[in-house]
Structure 1
Amino acid sequence: MNAPPLRHGIIGTGFMATVHSRAVRRSSGVLSLVAGATPESGQAAAVSLGARAGAADAAELVASPEVDVVHVCTPNNTHAPLVRLALQAGKHVVCEKPLATCPDEAAELAGLAAAAGVVAAVPFVYRFYPTVRHAAAMVARGEAGPLWLLHGSYLQDWLSTPGRSNWRVDAAQGGASRAFGDIGIHWCDLMEFVTGHRITALVARTAVAHPERAGSVVTTEDGASVVFETDRGATGSLVVSQASPGRKNRLEFSFDGTLASLAFDQERPEELWVGGTNGNRTVLRDPAALDPAAAGYAVLPAGHPQGYQDSFDAFVADVSRQVRGDQVPGLPSFADGARAARITDAVLRSARTRTWVEVPA
C-alpha cells in the first residue's frame, strides 16, 4: 500500500517559492499552504503556485495539520525565527540559505533540529548535478590522486549596474555578507562535498563595484576573493561576484590532483572535464557512463539537458525520501548550513582585520 503524499507548506512568495513549488509537485508531494507577508499576498501566491489554499500568516501555516514539511523562502533575517517556529511544531524543515545570519544562531538551529529528530535540510542543490556526483565518486576512488589545488569562482551579473537593487543589498535584511553569504557558500559547500576536504583557515578581501546602489549607500560586498587551506594539506582560491557583466550564474571549479584534474561549469552542466598529462576527456551526463552514485540523478536520457530546476527537484525528492525513513547520502543538512555560516563569518573577519583566520570545524 502506497503511503499518502507528503504535504508541504511554503513561507514566502518570491522566485525561490516558485522553484520550491515545482520541486514539491515533481516529488509527488502536495502543496497545501502558502504564506506571504499579508493574508492577501499568501492567497495570491497560493493561486499562482497551485497550492490548495493561502495561510493568513506563517504561524497558521506552521501549526496546520495539513503541513508535514515547512519550506522557508523569505529574506535572510527572518530565517531563524521561522525555523524555530517550525521545529517547535515538530515539522520537517527546508530552509533557504543562509540558515541564519550569524554562526552562533545557525549552530543553535542545527542543534534544535537534531534534538527534534526531524529532517532539516538546506538547499545546496549544486550537489545534485549528476556530473558533480560523478566527480565526487572519482575523487573517492582515488582516480585524481591526492588533491593539492582547489580553485574556482562563482560569478553573476544581476547587480552589475548601480540602478539594480533588492532586499539582499540591505544588511538589515540580507545579513552582513551578501555576495559571499549568498553564493560563495554554495561553492564552498560543493568543494567540501566533492573533495572531502574541509577549509581550516582563510584570508579574504571584499570589494564593492558600486558604492551607491539605487540611491542608497552599499554596506555589503559585491564581490570577494578568498585564499584557503584545508585539513588534507591542499590550498585553494575562490573569486565571488554578483557584479561581473555577462556572467549569469557561472559556478565553476577545478580540483587538481596528482593524477588528474576535474573541472565543472554550472552553465554547462552536462559535462565534466577530466584532464590528464596524457590527454583530456569529457564525461557527458549519460546514465550509462556515470558512476552508479551519479546515474540515479540522471533522470533524462543522454542528450536531453538537465539543469538547475532538475537539481532542485532531486534535492526535494531526497528530502522526501529521508522523511519516509530512508538514509539518503549527500543530503545537505542544517549542520552543513551551520558550517556555511562559520565560513562566511571567517571571510568577514578576515576582510575586516586583513589577516588569516582559522575556520572552526
Structure 2
Amino acid sequence: MENHRTTTAPSRLRAGFVGAGFMAEVHSRAARAAGAETAGIASSSPASAARAKDRLGIAQAYASVQDLIEDDAIDVIHVCTPNATHVALAEAALVAGKHVVCEKPLATNVQDAARLVELAATAGTVATVPFVYRFHPMVREARERIASGQTGRISTIQGSYLQDWLLSRDDDNWRVDAGLGGPSRAFADIGSHLCDLIEFVTNDRITRIGALSRTLFTGRANHEDVQTEDLVAAVFATDAGAVGNLLVSQVAPGRKNRLMIEISGTESSVQFDQEAPETLWLGKRAGSQLLVRDPDALSPDAARLSVLPAGHPQGYQDAFNAFVADTYAAIGGETPEGLPTFRDGLRAAALTQSILESNTSGHWTDVPDIKQLEGVQQ
C-alpha cells in the first residue's frame, strides 16, 4: 500500500524511538528539526518509556518495543539502545516494513551486519546508520577538494579519535561489557567513525591494516575482567596506494571528542578537527590557510549543509539534524548525497573485525571488500 505521508509529505513522518538515553535525546531532537512527528517511544520498561516520553516531549509511551514496532501508524524506527540489541531490533523493524535508523555499531559481528543489509534490500525500505560527522559542511568541503584534484595524489593519511570519559578505573559504563557492547569497544564505538570519515572524504578504501590494542583497566567500578579495549593504534594501506595511521583512545586526558583527520597529497594537505568544525586547514609548501565556513565560498554540497550564515557556529547536533533530514528525504524518494546506509554499517563491522584479528595475530590483516561480504561477485 502506498504511504502518502512518506511519498508526498516527508515532514509528516511519524517517528518511533527505542531507547531512552542520550542518543534517544539526540535522535528525537533531529527528528523534530526535520519536521517529523515524534510519535512514540519504548524502552527497557514501561516506566522508563513513560519518563522518556515526558522528558523528550514524545507523544506516546508504548508498553513494549514490539507494540511500537508493530504499530502501523509509525513510519520510521530509531534504534538507540545498547549495541548487542541492535540486530534483533533492526530486524524486527525491517520485517514490520519500517524505515530504520540504527545506531552504530550496526552489529557486533560481520555476519549479522551482512544479514541486516540483505533484509533492508529485500524490504525495500530506507535503512541508515548515523555516521554523522560526514554532515559537517567543512567535511564536505574537504571531500570536494580531494575529488576535484586540488590536493593532488594522496600519499598519507593520519587520523585520531580521542576521548577521556573512561580515563579512571572508577569510570564505568555498559559499553565496557563485551556482552552488551560487543568484542570491541573503543574501535567499534569511535574508531568506526574515524575510518568512515577517512574513507568518505578520500573516496578510497582501507585494504590492509596492522593493529595493536590495549586495555588499561581489566577491572572497573562495576565490571570485573574487562575484555574490551581502551585504545587502538594502527597503520594501514589503501586501495589507491596511500599509507596511513590512526589512534583511537577513550583514555586521553583532556580530549572530550577530538576526531581529527589530515590527508596529504602532492599539492596540498587538508585537515579537519571535529572540535573546531567551522574551519578547514589547508597546507601548502608556499603557505597555509585556515578556511572558515562561509556558504558563499564553499562547494555546493558544503553550502547545502550550511544552514546558518557565516559566523554563526554549527556543531554536532546540526550535523545529526542534517543526517536525519537526509534520511527522511530518502524516505520521501530523494537521493541525498553521502547518506550512510546499512552497507556502511557492514563496512564498519568488517574494519572492526580486521582490527581484532590483526591485534590477536600480530600480523597485517586484509580488510574484506563489502561486495564479498554481501556475496556479490566483483
Give the TM-score of the pair, scaled to structure 1: 0.99
Question: 1:46 is matched with which residue?
Answer: 53
| Matching of residue 57 in structure 1 with residue 68 in structure 2 | no
| Matching of residue 289 in structure 1 with residue 297 in structure 2 | yes
| Matching of residue 251 in structure 1 with residue 235 in structure 2 | no
Q: SS of 1:336's equivalent?
A: helix
CA distance in 2 between counterparts of 1:118 and 1:262 reads 36
Q: Deviations over 1:45-66 (max 9, x none)?
A: 1111111110111111101122
**How big is the alpha-carbon RMSD for the aligned residues of Structure 1 and Structure 2?**
1.0
Question: 1:86 is matched with which residue?
Answer: 93
CA distance in 2 between counterparts of 1:208 and 1:244 reads 13
Q: SS of 1:17's equivalent?
A: helix
State the one-letter code of the partner of 1:38: S
Q: SS of 2:161's equivalent?
A: strand
- Which residue of 17, 21, 24 maps to 1:10? 17
**What stretches of structure 2 of length at least 5 have no aligned partner?**
370-378
Q: Deviations over 1:190-226 (max 9, x none)?
A: 0000001101110100012222211522210000001
Matched residue pairs, number?
361
- Which residue of 187, 198, 201 maps to 1:194? 201
- CA shift for structure 1 position 111: 1.0
CA distance in 1 between counterparts of 2:282 and 2:219 reads 42
Q: SS of 1:345's equivalent?
A: helix
| Identical-residue share of aligned pairs (%) | 52
1:144-155 correspondence runs (5 A): 144-155=151-162
Q: Deviations over 1:131-181 (max 9, x none)?
A: 000000001100000111011100000000110101000000000000000
State the one-letter code of the partner of 1:340: A
Further displaced range: 279-288 or 181-190: 279-288
- CA shift for structure 1 position 41: 0.7
Give structure 1 regions of 4+ aligned residues with deviation exceeding 3 angstroms: none
Q: SS of 1:101's equivalent?
A: coil
Q: SS of 2:246's equivalent?
A: strand
Question: 2:373 is matched with which residue?
Answer: none
1:46-195 correspondence runs (5 A): 46-195=53-202
- Which residue of 329, 333, 336 maps to 2:337? 329
- Which residue of 13, 17, 36 maps to 1:29? 36
Give the TM-score of the pair, scaled to structure 2: 0.94
State the one-letter code of the partner of 1:296: R
| Matching of residue 222 in structure 1 with residue 237 in structure 2 | no
CA distance in 2 between counterparts of 1:44 and 1:214 reads 27
Further displaced range: 13-22 or 62-71: 62-71
| Matching of residue 298 in structure 1 with residue 306 in structure 2 | yes
- CA shift for structure 1 position 288: 0.8
CA distance in 2 between counterparts of 1:357 and 1:186 reads 20
